[in-house]
Amino acid sequence: MTTQKLRGYDIINTSALSKSTAFSRKEREELGLRGLLPHAVCSQALQEQRILENLRRKAYDIEKYIFLMALLERNEKLFYHTVIQNIDELMPLIYTPTVGQACKEFAHIFRKARGFYITPDDKGEIRNILDNWPVDDIRVIVVTDGERILGLGDLGANGMGIPIGKLSLYTACAGIHPRHCLPVMLDVGTNNEDFLKDPFYLGYPNHRIQGQPYLDLVEEFVLAVNDKFPKALIQFEDFLTPNAFKLLETYRDRTLCFNDDIQGTAAVSLAGVYASTRITNLRFTDLRIMFLGAGSAATGVGDLMCSAFMDQGLSHDEAANRLWFVDKKGLITSGRKDLMMHNIPYAHDHPPLSFIDAIKDIKPHILIGATGSPNTFTQEVIELMSSFQERPVIFALSNPTERAECTPEEAYAWSHGKALFASGSPFAKVTYQGQDFKPGQGNNAYIFPGMGLGATSCEASRMTDEMFLEAAKALSDQVTNDDLKYGTLYPPLSKIRTVSLEIATRIAQKAYEQGLAQHPEPKDMKTFIADQMYQTTY
């Protein structure tokens, strides 16, 4: 689409083309815009100031979310420019934690259709209806079935807010062109009775299909995408744990795909662990790591950490022995008969213990929470960790913010300033006894945009564990000594496009090393990738 093909109101009302009041006098003359805009020609910087002024007047975050989504519908470049320039303030509004509320209220705040919806009624027709999408060159697809949205459970078709939000971060954080992005909702129904009774609910108004019919629909979707969009990366997002693992294992060697909850969370967590060793002065291979929660996110982190230990010389058994998992029934042990397949590799030959007793017995250096349950890292837990570790490392990864296992204020106070804290949601700077701490945000946005940029730039045929391991190393390398002075285990969000470019470069290099890249190898990888990044200035 070019400006030469459209004129007048058609340009103003096309988000990808509109500059609103920033059109120059010459452009207004050439494009038939005279009389259609106020007299003043505004700079993009001035437009940004106007956006922020209006945004900050709004009392509630959900109102700010709606305002920003409306801006995206009006003026794509201004939306992304404003987000990039003010990412600390705006990322929590367009994604975690506000996107959680936006999903819960999705049907009630619906304004305009975005993305692509597939229901059981489309069985046998998915490839045909993909032709209805107006863009042929799709490079990144984020798909969910809405069954496990953040820590909020089954939100059905309301979960479309997640693919929309994730893809906005692909563009803002890594420069994937928005025209190359497609949010998809596999709307297979919902078991949320409140939604089924809600007259405003927009989804398939039935209970979820399960078993083989569900798997057949996913299979048809993947095959249809491979045919229609052969260069597309598929990101599976917010699937229930059994389905998340099953779909990843089914498709990881068949197509270019990954699961962000399993693999993205793993890479960002591993990066934080790497960074923590620069403060604790512990060898990575000596670490004992305990997880509270044993679902897809926690086990995905464990799997990648197992690979990281082996990368540094440990055997598989030695690596697995560094990793301990606790679920709501206690320590994951080999004597338990209720374990899922993904738990079995980490089931130790050990007496059963409660969470507290497991901490006392194992004395982990690092505690990682991926429970979706708030307040599970209690004062007793933090004080216990601090009693045998000089600098206990605490990751409270559950989203949204109100689901975090503990707050940084609690972690610093209960540890008397000893803890190194990171969370999945943003928290403000904390001052404890005159010392400033900046809690790092172990947000997957540090990983998946750069992974997508790297994989699509080199036209990788699939994603490998080695790529996620490389991404974790690349992210950790971006943490400076100045960051570490404040106990921060991640680089500032303001550097996220630089971080994403670094990750993308190293991912692409890994793809060429593994013989998985289909694009001819460029002489200067970083420049080649940077030249493909979407620019938001007019």
| Residues recognised as catalytic | 95, 166
Q: What is the DSSP string of 94-138?
A: HSTTHHHHHHHTTTTS--S--SEEE-GGGTT-HHHHHTTSS-S--
3-state secondary structure 449-509: HHHHHHHHHCCECCCCHHHHHHHHHHHHHCCCHHHHHCCCCCCCHHHHHHHHHHHHHHHHH
State how far the Cα of 521 lies from the Cα of 512, in Å rounded to an integer. 7
CA distances from 27 to 5, 18, 78, 369 (A): 14, 11, 18, 54
535: which strand partners?
Answer: none
The conformation of residue 261, written as its DSSP 8-state character, comes to: I
State how far the Cα of 129 lies from the Cα of 117, in Å rounded to an integer. 10
State how far the Cα of 98 lies from the Cα of 81, in Å rounded to an integer. 20
- Helix or strand or coil: residue 92? helix
- With 0-12 / 13-18 / 19 or more C-beta atoms within 10 angstroms meaning exposed / middle / buried, residue 219 is middle
State how far the Cα of 501 lies from the Cα of 529, in Å rounded to an integer. 7
